[in-house]
Structure 1
């Protein structure tokens, strides 16, 4: 029987596996995922800040996929693309006829000295929980250490993850101050960014509102400040040094390291794919999500690696596998964003919504919108029962 291997149970992989199962294709569908659960990567910042618990952003893989999908919990080591096999860490290789590679992202150090040794990334459940433990233990230590750096937090990068993490952090800090008995007036929060603007994808007024909100809550932004090294307790930018005992690394991500290990030609472990999401020269191999670079015909630049784009790619790739199986031509990937939402804690944020008009929102209403967005993303990779279970 024909085998379709789907690698990765994130937004792209899980959605694709579900679409293939519902299409009732005459094939065996195998979904490989490192963990027995799916996690909402767009909510990792909340887990790291402690405003959400693990159960709030995760659900079992077994409850999310139809019975037709065979789930293998293991880590992919590499893909033998010529031999059509996926090599796993603990299981025998999986032979496939069609491949949907959706292996997701890893932290990107950009080759900067000391990043991996001296900072805390936010790329999965384990790293988010590690960052949370470190934050709380360091803040609690101030009572005995008296070290002001225990109350100093530096966030590297000012992308979506950083800004949303900062929003959750300033929301939760007063509660942590009461719990661990440290003076809020001594807390210092810095955000270090190489670019000269914060949230450039937003309308300038919305971006300024978000930046001002965080400033009013104690965040100091250092823009046009490229990071050149991370040392124990220090972020270095050329001749300037910033000190803190909690350093969060959220400057950007790259695709899975399985990509170079499998011989793909890539940049930051992302492969430029054809307009139907297949790999050039191999119409039965599709790359979607964070490991793919899909060029937007209007700009000539790759689409951003967002959950919204990943889900749309999954739909296209699954439909194209079905087309291949049934002898029909594949279709081109197209995407139209419905908007962008950036939370600044659980109650406020900024948003640009392109649905039934063009909406620019800020403040408390965005908290409601963000909740709707999170619920929608769960519904697109699972079911109503799972949405209700995560509320």
Structure 2
């Protein structure tokens, strides 16, 4: 019996396993993940801001998959592609016949000096919790330090994650002000972004509404300001300096370092895959999610890496693995986005939905859409009880 190794228990990896089991693929399936739980990575910013706890966005992987799937809790060190083995940090090498690599993302510094040493980022549960704890600790410290920089938060980057984080932070300001006895209006939340346009993936009226919402709630937006260095308590962008004792880096992500360590032809730890998501020259090896770069056949541009496309890739990769096992030809990956939902705290947001027509939404109604999207992903990846437990 063939062995299918699936690396990573995020959206793409877990969805692949569930699809393989649903389609009753005749193979031994092994899922490798470095934690015993799955976390909703699209909600990490809520944990970082403290509007949700880690328990709110996690569930046990073993309870979510079929008992016939072997779940290995270990860290992938590298992939010996020549000999078809996954090298693990603690366990014996895992031999495979087919590989679905969905190892996920890491923070991208773009080579900016001081980022690693003097800023915080969140790419998993532990780092998101660390950001939250740092914010709370720094705000509490103001009572004795009287250092106004304890009340300042600089968010570096106004991409999707940065904007959603800002929405959660402004929601928390009234609570923090009351809890820590802070001066009214004393907190400053500053966003520094190299690009001149915020949320370019959304229609202009929605991106404008989102920026207006944040500025009305006190966020100081600085688009068109490329960050050149981060020093202790200072973010430098050209001739400007932004002082804060909490600096959060959200400028972008790259794929897992395992990609580079395993000798792939890659850029930012992403590999351009074939139309069926397989690696060139390795027909039984599929890369999906944040470690893959998938060209859009109609435009030639690469698709953005999102949870939505990761789940669609997982379905395609699982179907193509099954096809290879059955001796059938693989099929090209086809993707059509159903839209974009951007939350601005627990109760507001903007959304552009392409389903049963085109819908542009803003305000309170978007929070319901966001909840439905989150619940649907949990429902598809796990079971109803995890969805209910998260409410």
Give 1:249's aligned residue: 249
How many Å apart are 1:162 and its aligned residue?
A: 0.5
Instruction: Measure, in 1, the Cα distance between the counterparts of 2:123 and 2:298.
Output: 30
| Residue in 2 that maps onto 1:65 | 65
Matches within 5 A, 1:67-106: 67-106=67-106
Q: Tell me by how many angstroms 1:184 deviates.
A: 3.2
**Deviations, residues 349-376 of structure 1 (Å, cap 9, x unaligned):** 0000111110000000001111001001
TM-score for the superposition, normalised by structure 2: 0.99
In the alignment, what sits opposite 1:56?
A: 56
Provide Cα deviations, 1:181-222, integer angstroms capped at 9, x if missing partner. Answer: 111311111100000011111111111111000001110111
2:159 counterpart of 1:159: yes
Moved more, 267-276 or 299-308: 299-308
Cα distance in 1 between the residues matched to 2:67 and 2:182 = 51
Query: Is the partner of 1:185 in helix, strand or coil?
Result: coil
Alpha-carbon distance in 2 for matches of 1:363, 1:99: 43
* 1:43 corresponding residue in structure 2: 43
The count of aligned residue pairs is 391
Q: Give the C-alpha shift of residue 298 in structure 1.
A: 2.0
Consecutive aligned runs of 4 or more in structure 1 exceeding 6 Å deviation: none
Query: In the alignment, what sits opposite 2:227?
Result: 227
Aligned to 1:141: 141
Secondary structure of 1:268's match?
A: coil
Partner of 1:321: 321
Distance 1:348 1:238 in 2: 33
Question: For 1:317 and 1:96, how far apart are their aligned partners in 2?
Answer: 16
The TM-score normalised by the length of structure 1 is 0.99
Per the TM alignment, residue 21 of structure 1 is displaced from its structure 2 partner at its CA by 1.6
- CA RMSD between the two structures: 0.7
**Partners in 1 of 2:17 and 2:377 — Cα distance?**
15
Q: Distance in 1 between matches of 2:338 and 2:58?
A: 24
- Secondary structure in structure 2 of the residue aligned to 1:172: helix
Aligned to 1:360: 360
Deviation of 1:227 after TM superposition, in Å, equals 0.7
The answer on 1:373 being equivalent to 2:369 is no
Shift of 1:177: 1.1
Partner of 2:292: 292
1:109 paired to 2:109: yes
Q: Deviations over 1:78-97 (max 9, x none)?
A: 00000100000011100000
Q: CA deviation at 1:240?
A: 2.1
Pairwise CA distance, 1:239: 2.8
1:382 deviates by 1.1
Q: Distance in 2 between the 1:92 and 1:322 partners?
A: 26
In structure 2, runs of 5+ residues without a counterpart are none
Aligned partner of 2:237 in structure 1 is 237
Who is 2:24 aligned against? 24
1: CA distance between counterparts of 2:184 and 2:194? 28
- CA deviation digits over 1:11-56, x for unaligned, max 9? 0000001111222222110000010000000000000000001111
Match of 1:150 in 2: 150
What do residues 252-298 of structure 1 show as CA deviations (whole Å, max 9, x unaligned)? 00000000000100111000000000000111000000000000112
* Alignment match, 2:343: 343
Of residues 18-27 and 368-377 in structure 1, the stretch that sits farther from structure 2 once superposed is 18-27
What secondary structure sits across from 2:185 in the alignment? helix
Q: Distance in 2 between matches of 1:112 and 1:256?
A: 19
Matched residues in 2 for 1:282 and 1:65: separation? 27
- Give 3-state SS (helix, strand or coil) of 2:221's partner: strand
Bigger shift: residues 299-308 or 31-40 = 299-308
Give me the whole-angstrom Cα distance separating, in 1, the residues matched to 2:373 and 2:159.
19
- Per the TM alignment, residue 383 of structure 1 is displaced from its structure 2 partner at its CA by 1.8
CA distance in 2, matches of 1:136, 1:16: 38
Q: Give the whole-Å Cα distance in 2 for the aligned partners of 1:8 and 1:348.
A: 32
